[in-house]
DNA sequence: GTGGATGAG
DNA sequence: CGCTCATCCAC
C-alpha cells in the first residue's frame, strides 16, 4: 500500500532469456536472510551516501550561489569546507584565507554563523572574524539542512522496517537496502519467490535471467578484472544493481527537492560502501560488486579504512612496514594476532579482506550535545568564563528545544564542562535534576557550579578552551512514549507472567545489557510481525485500548509465507521464527500483557510492535517535514538572515561498536575487548566465502 | 557514574 | 584548524 517502490517500473534487466543453465551460488536461505537484513547475508546490500562538500553546498544553496562558483566556508581564519569548483584551484582545508584568495581571486568565502553574547539565536554576521573574541561558531544551519536531507531520504524509501537508515554524521548516511531489495526481487523474479524445492532451504536458487546486465548509467560499476572473469551475473549482482537503482532515486530526490548533490557507494558492507562513496567524488555513485571487492581494496592504503586512520593505523604501519592493503594481505593471521593482539589482529585480518559485518543501526536520536569555544587569546578570569557559559547554555538550550519539541520528549541527564589549560584537559560533570523542566537558568547554575569545581582543584588560567555538553539522554517522565519506559514495563510484565516470555523469540533478560543483540532480535521479530500483518485494517483509536483485544484482531496473522517462511533448525545465525511467529502473533492479541509489545499508530490506523515505534514515528515526522518542505520557498540570498526551516528530530549517530584496538599503543594491557571477539566470531561463522567472486 | 583518550568528519 | 559527536576503558 503506502510502501512505495518506485523502481519496479524500470527494470534494466531484460527477463527475456531465462537462462537456467546452472545453479546460483546462493540458496533460499540466503534469500531469507536478505529479508531480515542479516549482517552475514552474502546478498546483503549497503549504501553509503555522502554529501559533497556539505557545508559549502549549504551556503551555496542558502545564498543562491551558482554551482560553478568557487565557494568556501570560512571559520575565523580558516576554511572548513571548499566546494569542488574551488578545489580546482588547488585549495585545500589547510590554506589560510589570504592564500586562498591568491590562488583563486574569484573565491567566495562565506563565514559560518555565530552566536553573540546576549543573543537569543545565532546569525550570519558580516565581518565575523572581527568578532572572534566575542562570538562563538554555530553549526546549526548545517544540522538543520542535514535533517531536511535525512527526512527526504526517509521519505523516498519505503516505510520501516524495509527502510533502514543510519545517520553516520552530519553529512553521511548508511542505508541497509537488503530488506527492500528482497521485496523487489520477489516481485520481479517470481521464479525464486516460491518455497524452496523439497522445502529445503539449503537448495540453491536458479540463476538469474542471464541477459547482459545493464550496469550502465552514470552509476559506475567499478573495478572489474573482467576478461578472465565469469561474466554470468548471479543474484548478488542483481541485488547490487537494484541497490544502485534505489540509491540513484534517493540522490535524485535530494537533488530535486533540496538542491544538494551527493556521492554514494553501494557494496556488500559498510566499510566497502564508504570507500566506494569516496571513490568518485562529486555527484557520482560507485558500485563495488562482490567479485571486485578484493581488487578494489588492494589499491588502498589501509589507513583509509575506518578505525585505521589514527593511532591504531600508525601502529600497524610501524609494525608491518607498509601502509598498503595489498602488502598487508601477505601477513598471516597468526602474525597479525601476535603483533596486534588477538582481537585487533583478527579484526585487521578480516577488514583488509573486505569483510565487515557491522550492522546499519536504524536509529537516529542524539545522544549528546556540545557547545565549545577555543580562546584565541586565552581567557584569564572566571568572569570571562562565566560569560561564555551563558552563551553555551543558550546554544544548547535552543538545540534542546528543537530536539524535544518534535521528538519524543527526551531530555539529557547530565551536564558536563570541559576545560583546557595548555595541554591540560579537565572536566567535571553533574546530573541535571529531573522533575522540573530544563531551562537556561537551571543549566547555567549547574554550569557555573562545575566551573567552580574546576577552578578550585587546579590552576585554571589561562584557559584556552571550554566546552559545555549535555548527555545521557533519556525519555521524559511524562512519556509513556519511547523505548525506555517500554523496557521498564516489559520487565515488569516479564516478572509477573514469565510464561509469555520467549513465546515470540525475545530474550527479555538480555534487554538491558546487550543492546546489540537486542537490536538484532528486534528486527527479526519486527519483520515477521509486519509480514504477518500485512493487509490488516484495524480500528483502534487509542493505543491504551489494545489490551481489550478485540477478538477479531486475533485473525491477523496467517504468517505470509512469502517472507515469513524461514527454516529453523541448525543455524542460529538466521533468526528463525517460522511457526512460532504465527502463534505468538496470535497470542499477542489475546492476552493483556501484550500491550507492552504494541502501540497503535493513529495515522496509519494500525498496530505496530513497540520496538518499532520510535522508528515508525520518526518516519512519520520525516514525512510531515517533507510535506512542509514542498510548500516552502527558500529564503532569499540576504546574508544577515536566519534560514530557519522547521526542525525535525533526527540527530543521533548510532555508531556501530567497532573493534578498535583494545590494546592501543602501550601494549601493556593487551587483553580485554570482548566485543571485538564477538564480532570476530560472528564474522567467521557467518561471512560466507560465497561473498567473494569466483 | 566519572574523566580521559581515541577516532571520526 | 576548530568544532562536534561517539565509544571505550580504567578508575
For residue range A261-320, what is the model confidence (pLDDT) as tens digits? 999 999 999 999 999 999 888 999 999 999 899 889 998 899 989 889 888 898 899 899
For A694, the grid coordinates are: 569466483
Of A52, A61, A270, A246, nearest to A162 by C-alpha is A246
Measured from the CB, is A639 under 7 Å from any atom of strand B? no
C1 C1' – A263 CA distance, angstroms? 25
Q: What distance lies between CA A84 and its chain's CA centroid? A: 25
Nucleotides of chain B touched by protein CB (<7 A): 1-9
Of A168, A191, A275, A160, nearest to A523 by C-alpha is A160
Question: Which residue has its C-alpha nearest to nucleotide C6's C1'?
Answer: A655
**pLDDT at residue A147, as a whole number:** 86
Sign of CA dihedral A180, A184, A189, A190: positive
C11 C1' – A414 CA distance, angstroms? 19
Of A410, A388, A402, nearest to A468 by C-alpha is A388
Q: Report whether A384 contacts A668 (CB < 8 A).
A: no
Measured from the CB, is A672 under 7 Å from any atom of strand C? yes
Strand partners, A75: A78
- What's the CA gap between A128 and A80, in Å, rounded? 15
The CA–CA distances, whole Å, from A557 to A2, A578, A599, A613 equal 20, 12, 17, 20
**pLDDT at residue A622, as a whole number:** 58
Point out the nucleotide closest to A372 (alpha carbon to C1′).
C3
C2 C1' – A126 CA distance, angstroms? 19
Distance spanning both ends of chain A, measured CA to CA: 40
**pLDDT at residue A477, as a whole number:** 54
Q: How many helices (H) and strands (E) does chain A have?
A: 21, 21
**pLDDT at residue A671, as a whole number:** 34
Measured from the CB, is A118 under 7 Å from any atom of strand B? no
Question: Which residue has its C-alpha nearest to nucleotide C1's C1'?
Answer: A78
**pLDDT at residue A465, as a whole number:** 87
Q: What distance lies between CA A501 and its chain's CA centroid? A: 31
CA atoms within a 13 Å half-sphere pointing along the CA-CB vector of A581: 28
C9 C1' – A627 CA distance, angstroms? 45
B2 C1' – A167 CA distance, angstroms? 28
Point out the nucleotide closest to A472 (alpha carbon to C1′).
B1
Nucleotides of chain C touched by protein CB (<7 A): 1-10
Residues 369-428 of A with CB under 7 A from strand B: 414, 416, 418, 425-428
- Return the H-helix or E-strand segment holding A338: helix A333-340
Q: How does pLDDT run across A139-183, given as a tens digit for each residue?
A: 889 988 988 999 899 999 999 889 999 888 889 999 999 999 999
Measured from the CB, is A373 under 7 Å from any atom of strand C? yes
DSSP string, A416-449: EEEEEETTEEEEEEEEPPSSSPP-HHHHHHHHHH
- What's the CA gap between A600 and A266, in Å, rounded? 35
Measured from the CB, is A436 under 7 Å from any atom of strand C? no
**pLDDT at residue A200, as a whole number:** 95
- What's the CA gap between A690 and A527, in Å, rounded? 25
**pLDDT at residue A621, as a whole number:** 59
B1 C1' – A292 CA distance, angstroms? 47
Question: Which residue has its C-alpha nearest to nucleotide C10's C1'?
Answer: A669
Measured from the CB, is A13 under 7 Å from any atom of strand C? no
**pLDDT at residue A459, as a whole number:** 72
Measured from the CB, is A655 under 7 Å from any atom of strand C? yes
Alpha-carbon torsion, ordered A539, A543, A546, A547, to 10 deg: -160
- Return the H-helix or E-strand segment holding A562: helix A561-564
B8 C1' – A693 CA distance, angstroms? 31
pTM: 0.71
Question: Which residue has its C-alpha nearest to nucleotide B5's C1'?
Answer: A664
The CA–CA distances, whole Å, from A442 to A163, A393, A401 equal 39, 9, 14
C3 C1' – A558 CA distance, angstroms? 53
Of A240, A222, A30, nearest to A687 by C-alpha is A30
**pLDDT at residue A361, as a whole number:** 82
DSSP string, A39-100: TT-TT--EEEEEETTHHHHHHHHHHT--TTS-EEEEETTEEEEE-HHHHTTT--TT-BHHHH
C7 C1' – A140 CA distance, angstroms? 24
C6 C1' – A140 CA distance, angstroms? 19
| Burial label, A473 (beta-carbon count in 10 A; 0-12, 13-18, 19+) | buried
Of A19, A18, A40, A20, nearest to A30 by C-alpha is A40
- What's the CA gap between A224 and A690, in Å, rounded? 17
**pLDDT at residue A383, as a whole number:** 87
- Helix, strand, coil share of chain A (percent; to 5): 45, 15, 40
Of A570, A574, A573, A576, nearest to A685 by C-alpha is A573
Question: Which residue has its C-alpha nearest to nucleotide B3's C1'?
Answer: A427
Q: Report whether A492 contacts A572 (CB < 8 A).
A: no
Question: Which residue has its C-alpha nearest to nucleotide C9's C1'?
Answer: A662
Q: Report whether A268 contacts A200 (CB < 8 A).
A: no
Measured from the CB, is A312 under 7 Å from any atom of strand B? yes
Measured from the CB, is A94 under 7 Å from any atom of strand C? yes
Angle (deg, nearest 10), helices A342-351 and A333-340: 130
For A656, the grid coordinates are: 556501530
For A286, the grid coordinates are: 560507485
C1 C1' – A282 CA distance, angstroms? 24
- What's the CA gap between A184 and A180, in Å, rounded? 6
**pLDDT at residue A618, as a whole number:** 56
Residues of chain A below pLDDT 50: 1-20, 218, 222, 224-228, 478-597, 611, 630-694
**pLDDT at residue A21, as a whole number:** 55
Residue environment code for A521-533, b if the CB has 16+ CB neighbours within 10 A, otherwise e: bbbbbbbbbbbbb
The proportion of chain A whose per-residue pLDDT surpasses 70, expressed as a percent, equals: 61
C8 C1' – A618 CA distance, angstroms? 29
Measured from the CB, is A285 under 7 Å from any atom of strand C? no
C3 C1' – A267 CA distance, angstroms? 31
Q: Report whether A67 contacts A108 (CB < 8 A).
A: no
Length of chain A equals 694
- What's the CA gap between A243 and A223, in Å, rounded? 17
Amino acid at each position: 500500500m503506502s510502501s512505495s517502490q518506485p523502481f519496479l517500473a524500470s527494470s534494466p534487466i531484460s527477463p527475456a532469456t531465462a537462462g537456467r543453465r546452472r545453479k546460483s551460488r546462493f540458496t533460499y536461505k540466503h534469500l531469507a536472510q536478505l529479508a531480515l537484513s542479516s549482517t552475514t547475508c552474502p546478498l546483503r546490500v549497503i549504501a553509503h551516501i555522502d554529501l559533497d562538500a556539505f557545508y559549502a553546498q549549504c551556503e551555496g544553496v542558502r545564498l543562491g550561489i551558482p554551482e560553478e562558483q568557487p565557494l568556501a566556508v570560512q571559520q575565523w581564519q580558516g576554511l572548513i569546507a571548499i566546494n569542488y569548483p574551488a578545489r580546482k584551484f588547488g585549495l585545500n582545508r589547510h590554506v589560510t584565507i589570504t592564500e586562498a584568495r591568491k590562488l583563486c581571486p574569484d573565491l567566495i568565502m562565506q563565514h559560518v554563523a555565530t552566536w553573540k553574547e546576549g543573543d537569543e539565536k545565532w546569525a550570519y554576521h558580516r565581518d565575523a572574524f572581527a568578532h572572534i573574541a566575542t562570538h562563538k561558531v554555530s553549526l546549526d544551519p548545517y544540522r538543520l539542512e542535514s535533517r531536511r536531507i535525512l527526512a527526504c531520504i526517509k521519505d523516498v524509501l519505503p516505510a520501516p522496517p524495509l527502510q533502514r537508515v543510519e545517520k553516520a554524521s552530519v553529512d553521511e548516511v548508511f542505508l541497509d537496502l537488503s530488506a527492500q531489495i528482497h521485496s523487489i526481487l520477489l516481485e520481479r523474479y517470481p521464479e525464486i519467490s516460491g518455497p524452496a524445492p523439497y522445502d529445503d532451504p539449503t537448495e540453491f536458487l536458479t540463476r538469474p535471467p542471464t541477459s547482459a546486465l545493464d550496469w550502465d548509467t552514470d552509476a559506475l560499476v567499478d573495478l572489474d578484472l573482467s576478461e578472465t572473469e565469469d561474466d554470468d551475473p548471479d543474484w548478488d549482482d542483481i541485488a547490487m544493481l537494484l541497490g544502485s537503482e534505489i540509491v540513484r532515486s534517493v540522490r535524485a530526490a535530494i537533488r530535486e527537492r533540496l538542491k544538494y548533490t551527493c556521492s554514494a557507494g553501494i557494496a556488500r558492507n559498510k566499510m566497502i560502501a564508504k570507500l566506494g562513496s569516496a571513490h568518485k567524488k562529486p555527484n557520482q555513485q560507485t558500485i563495488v560488486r562482490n567479485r571486485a571487492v578484493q581488487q578494489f581494496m588492494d589499491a588502498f592504503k589501509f589507513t583509509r579504512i575506518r578505525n585505521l586512520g589514527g593511532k591504531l593505523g600508525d601502529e600497524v604501519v610501524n609494525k608491518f612496514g607498509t601502509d598498503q592493503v595489498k602488502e598487508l594481505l601477505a601477513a598471516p593471521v597468526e602474525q597479525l594476532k601476535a603483533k596486534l593482539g588477538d582481537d585487533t589482529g583478527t579484526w585487521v585480518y578480516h577488514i583488509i579482506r573486505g569483510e565487515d559485518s557491522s550492522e546499519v543501526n536504524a536509529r537516529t536520536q542524539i545522544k549528546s550535545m556540545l557547545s565549545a569555544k577555543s580562546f584565541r587569546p586565552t581567557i584569564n578570569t572566571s568572569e570571562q568564563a562565566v560569560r561564555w557559559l551563558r552563551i553555551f547554555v543558550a546554544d544548547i538550550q535552543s538545540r534542546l528545544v528543537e530536539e524535544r519539541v518534535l521528538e519524543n520528549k527526551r531530555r539529557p541527564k547530565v551536564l558536563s564542562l570541559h576545560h583546557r589549560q595548555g595541554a591540560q584537559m579537565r572536566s567535571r560533570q553533574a546530573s541535571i535534576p529531573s522533575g522540573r523542566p530544563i531551562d537556561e537558568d537551571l543549566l547555567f547554575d549547574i554550569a557555573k557550579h562545575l566551573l567552580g569545581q574546576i577552578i578550585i582543584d587546579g590552576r585554571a588560567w589561562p584557559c584556552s578552551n571550554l566546552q559545555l555538553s549535555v548527555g545521557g539522554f533519556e525519555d521524559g517522565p511524562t512519556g509513556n512514549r519511547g523505548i525506555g519506559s517500554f523496557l521498564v514495563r516489559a520487565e515488569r510484565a516479564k516478572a509477573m507472567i514469565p510464561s509469555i516470555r520467549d513465546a515470540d523469540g525475545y530474550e527479555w533478560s538480555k534487554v538491558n545489557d546487550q543492546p546489540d543483540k537486542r537490536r538484532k532480535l528486534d528486527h527479526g521479530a519486527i519483520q515477521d510481525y509486519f509480514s504477518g500483518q500485512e493487509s490488516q485494517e484495524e480500528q483502534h483509536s487509542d493505543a491504551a485500548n489494545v489490551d481489550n483485544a478485540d477478538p477479531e484482531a486475533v485473525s491477523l496473522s496467517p504468517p505470509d509465507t512469502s517472507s515469513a517462511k524461514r527454516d529453523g533448525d541448525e543455524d542460529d545465525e538466521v533468526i528463525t521464527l517460522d511457526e512460532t511467529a504465527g502463534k505468538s502473533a496470535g497470542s499477542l492479541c489475546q492476552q493483556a500483557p501484550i500491550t507492552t509489545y504494541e502501540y497503535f499508530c493513529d495515522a496509519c490506523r494500525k498496530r505496530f510492535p513497540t520496538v518499532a515505534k520510535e522508528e515508525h514515528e520518526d518516519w512519520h515526522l520525516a514525512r510531515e517535514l517533507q510535506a512542509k518542505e514542498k510548500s516552502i520557498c527558500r529564503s532569499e540570498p540576504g546574508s544577515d538572515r536566519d534560514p530557519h526551516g522547521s526542525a525535525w528530530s533526527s540527530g543521533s549517530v548510532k555508531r556501530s561498536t567497532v573493534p578498535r584496538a583494545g590494546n592501543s599503543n602501550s601494549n601493556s594491557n593487551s587483553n580485554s575487548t570482548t566485543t571485538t571477539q564477538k564480532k570476530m566470531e560472528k564474522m567467521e561463522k557467518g561471512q560466507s566465502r560465497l561473498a567473494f567472486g569466483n
